[in-house]
Chain A
Amino acid sequence: MESYLPALAGGLMIGLAVTLLLLLNGRIAGVSGLVAGVLRRPAGPWPVNAAFVAGLLAGAPLFLLAAGHWPAVRIEASSGLLVAAGLLVGYGTRLGSGCTSGHGVAGLARLSPRSLAAVLTFLAAGVATVALQHLVAP
């Protein structure tokens, strides 16, 4: 149970951050949309999108200050697989209008049927992908 406490606490912080962005700025904290907003440079919201992304980049260094170590990160995928996966994640989240944060946290918090459909779809696709990988290369 102990190992689940940081997960739960981290989750609560994420939910709080998502709520704060709505309360203060009236915006949905969907990372794929905000990152794409930085890329597209629309005149109005660009600085605010960039500020959110800059905050995200500061998250792990702040964790280092608080915890005294970097978060664990283990990346097993090869470079080729990382590129293929990155392309799929980038294209897919734009086509599907959201990712784990926009649909998964904000959308579910709004009880949006559209977001629930998206979450069930990307969870199912993720589960199937990992299962298939184990079948092909156990």
Chain B
Amino acid sequence: MTGGAGARTGALAAARLLAALAAGALFGFGLSLSGMVDPTRVRGFLDVTGDWDPTLAFVLAGAVGAALPGYRLVLRRRRPLLAERFDLPTSRRIDGRLIGGSALFGVGWGLAGFCPGPAVTALSFAGMPALLFVLAMLAGMMLHDRTALGRLGTSRESASRGEATGRPGRT
């Protein structure tokens, strides 16, 4: 019986891997089709005071338009299909970390026209500039996650992690 449970656990773990691979591929395909992988297009979208290119508003509208009803339906379930529970963010705090981090990210996004998803997707065909950006991005992440520079304020974050996980308050 334990052998059967072990085999089932292994099959579930393999299914989760495939699911993540498929979701990533669909995500990357969507980014490629949408024009979001093109930094000039992204910067054109951010250029609201100049020659504004509204294309990427349609990407966001499509993505949220699909995910909003999708999430509502999925979160009616007690648990996901291949895992024990939903792994959802529990922090509700709008603090300096959130705003400061988002502001730094926005500046970098505006400067290069790349955010993390499109930058990783562009690695397969955009050559050295994309690689350079992604390596710097990984360094920036490690700077936060592995040095004292990122531990400023993490005690507050870990304190808020104690909140109950599971189904979110609003669905």
Residues of A at under 8 Å CB distance from B? 3-4, 6-29, 31-32, 35-36, 39-40, 47-49, 51-64, 66-67, 70-77, 79, 81-97, 99-101, 103-114, 117-119, 121-131, 133-134
Contacts and interface: CB of A to CB of B under 8 A. Distances in A.
Given A4-B55, A14-B34, A18-B27, A129 B46 contact: yes
B158 to A, nearest CB: 13
Contacts of B65: 11-12, 15
Contacts, number: 508
A54 B25 CA distance: 8
9 tightest Cβ-Cβ pairs between the two chains A and B: A59-B28, A55-B24, A11-B62, A90-B140, A96-B101, A10-B34, A125-B106, A15-B66, A86-B136
Contacts of B50: 130-131, 134
Given A22-B86, A125-B107, A36 B141 contact: yes
B32 interface: yes
Interface in B101-147: 101-117, 119-126, 129-130, 132-146
Nearest to A58: B25
Interface of B: 13, 15-41, 43, 46-50, 54-56, 58-68, 70-71, 74-75, 77, 79-89, 91-94, 97-117, 119-126, 129-130, 132-146, 149-150, 168, 170
A62 B29 contact: yes
Q: Is the interface of A mostly helix, strand, loop or mixed?
A: helix
Q: Is the interface of B mostly helix, strand, loop or mixed?
A: helix
A29 B27 contact: yes
Contacts of A83: 132-133, 136
A88 B23 contact: no
Given A4-B55, A71-B33, A85-B133, A56 B103 contact: no
Given A89-B114, A118-B98, 15 more contacts: A3-B55, A6-B34, A14-B62, A18-B70, A26-B85, A52-B21, A56-B117, A59-B124, A60-B124, A74-B38, A85-B107, A92-B140, A100-B116, A100-B117, A109-B68
Contact of B135 (A29, A86, A95, A119): A86
Contact of A130 (B28, B41, B47, B60): B47
Contact of A93 (B101, B112, B168): B101
Given A11-B66, A82-B112, A87 B60 contact: no
B89 A97 contact: yes
27 contacts: A7-B35, A7-B58, A9-B34, A10-B35, A14-B30, A15-B66, A15-B67, A28-B87, A31-B27, A36-B141, A55-B28, A56-B117, A57-B121, A59-B26, A59-B31, A59-B32, A59-B124, A61-B125, A73-B37, A82-B129, A89-B140, A96-B104, A109-B67, A110-B88, A110-B170, A113-B92, A125-B107
